[in-house]
Structure 1
Amino acid sequence: MRSAEACKAGETEQRIHFGGRHRGFWKLTSLPPSAGDAIMGVRDEESDMAADRIEGKCLCGAVTVRMTPPQPHVEACHCGMCRRWGGGPFLSLKMVTNPQMEGSDYIARYPSSDWAERGFCKKCGTHIFYYYKPAASYSFTAGLFDSAGGFQFAEEIFIDDKPDYYDFAGQRERLTGQEVMAKFGVGGSDEAG
């Protein structure tokens, strides 16, 4: 890292990468001599968004997903439909509305309810997403993203539908099917769709 004197002497820019939970870049710009000894880090939003963006692929690589998760969280859905779809709970990232998906010719969508669709790769069968129609939001399977390994397990939904043959250790928010339906304003079924 350059010293305050180097920045004040006219060095125009340095980008510093930092890792961990709040990954991103800071851009340091040179300061006029009147700024004294203070150096301020200015958040480079464009670089920060690129640094927080994660990429995932299906098993065969035909479908690629790029997204910026709103929080570094993984959630589990225990509803009967999710368990039938994947053989266990649906482990996913927080919903997003603006993902980039490549290989859309390989994505099949199954309308699993009046308010949801489930997407999978036509070539290898990998489960890609749960699409919630009222909010036009995608919840992508956590396993697509190698970089999600350090995310926090934050929520379990339809906990009252969870069978006895598995349990997750630790404390987190746990919502029943009725609580989920009330929270998201959907009804007519006790399953996520």
Structure 2
Amino acid sequence: MITGKCDCGKVSFSVPAVRKTVTACHCSQCRRASGHIWASTQASDVTDLTFANDEGLTWYASSDFAKRGFCKFCGSSLFYRLNTEPGIAIAAGCIDTPTGLQMGKHICVADKGDYYEIKDGLEQLDTH
């Protein structure tokens, strides 16, 4: 079982399994929401997510096709979910260690910030 939480602990969860790779999104929306890049893994179905505490969980409709879950108390950015798909992206940084995760790829690099370079040799896609 994989567990995770926000910074203040008012959102804590478990999920039986996640994808073992992390995707870093460099789009402007993800950069604004996270403060740099949005790095996440994926659970195959949102119904696999069990909350030990969801007191702080709030959802924000960040576009007409997706929403973001965050803690309304500490501001931790935790989840990203497309409205039409069963899966849910989980912020890699909120998963308790050891995670067993590895960086996998970068997406939306055509929209990345102008203050950094991506030099890790991983796959880079201009879009999602």
The answer to whether the 8 Å contact 1:142/1:148 transfers is no
Deviation of residue 146 (structure 1)?
2.8
State the superposition RMSD in angstroms.
1.7
Name the CA distance, whole Å, in 2 between partners of 1:148 and 1:87: 24
Q: For 1:83, what is the secondary structure of its paired residue?
A: helix
Q: How does 1:17-32 map to 2 (within 5 A)?
A: none
> Which structure has the highest strand share of the two?
2
Deviation track 1:59-96 (CA, whole Å, cap 9, x = no partner) reads: 11111121133431111000110011111110111243
3-state SS of paired residue (1:85) = helix
Answer 1 or 2: higher relative contact order, Cα 8 Å, separation at least 6.
2
CA 1:88–1:102: 2 relative to 1, 3 Å? same
Of the three residues 102, 106, 113, the one matched with 1:152 is 102
Greater radius of gyration (CA): 1
Amino acid at match of 2:17: P
Query: Which residue of 1 is the match for residue 29 of structure 2?
Result: 81
Q: Distance in 2 between matches of 1:101 and 1:70?
A: 16
Give identity over the alignment, percent: 35
Tell me, yes or no, if the aligned pair for 1:69 and 1:93 is still in contact at 8 Å: no
1:1-193 → structure 2 map (5 Å cutoff): 53-97=1-45, 98-147=48-97, 149-177=99-127, 180=128
1:187 paired residue number: none
Structure 1, unaligned stretches of length 5 or more?
1-52, 181-193
Determine which structure has the larger helix proportion and give its number: 1
Poorly superposed stretches of 4+, deviation over 6 Å: none
Q: TM-score, normalised by structure 1?
A: 0.60
What number of residue pairs does the alignment pair up? 126
